[in-house]
Amino acid sequence: MEIKVLIISLIFFVILYTVCRLLIDNGFVKNFTFGYLTTVLNFVLMSRKLRKVFSGDFNSYSLFGYVFRLSFILLLYVIWFQNQKVNIWGLLVGISLIPLTIPLVVIIDERRKTDGTST
């Protein structure tokens, strides 16, 4: 399901990126892209960790990985805020693509399981 989320969010990203590139300033587009890429990075690292935990490979170092991942993402945002002119709307739209895609993928997947609708 992780791959489906990434593919559908990438489709939304490409569409929104193209529209924003044509209609809105570069600051919005840069922050939109940065927000999306950091969210994808966070999602991929989190899904790997959750897959390990649910497969039974949970150990005391799993907590360190969680803290490291969040600290790394925080460091990326701190560096971004210090070195770039931040457009908060672009950043929020980029960050929200993955969380908005997850329920859509779950609905599509559940619908496919219940009534055989193809995806």
For 18-52, the pLDDT digits (tens) are 998 899 888 889 999 999 999 998 888 888 877 77
Q: Would you say residue 95 has pLDDT above 80?
A: yes
Residue 3 makes CB contacts below 8 A (sequence gap 6+) with: none
- Asked if 52 contacts 62 with a C-beta cutoff of 8 angstroms, the reply is yes
Q: Would you say residue 119 has pLDDT above 60?
A: no
Rounded distance between C-alpha atoms, residue 70 and residue 108, angstroms: 30
Residue 42 makes CB contacts below 8 A (sequence gap 6+) with: 69, 73
pLDDT for 36 equals 92
Rounded distance between C-alpha atoms, residue 52 and residue 65, angstroms: 12
Q: How confident is the model at residue 60 (pLDDT cuts 50, 70, 90)?
A: low
Indicate the residue type of 15.
I
Q: How confident is the model at residue 14 (pLDDT cuts 50, 70, 90)?
A: very high
Residue 40 makes CB contacts below 8 A (sequence gap 6+) with: 6, 9, 98
pLDDT for 58 equals 66
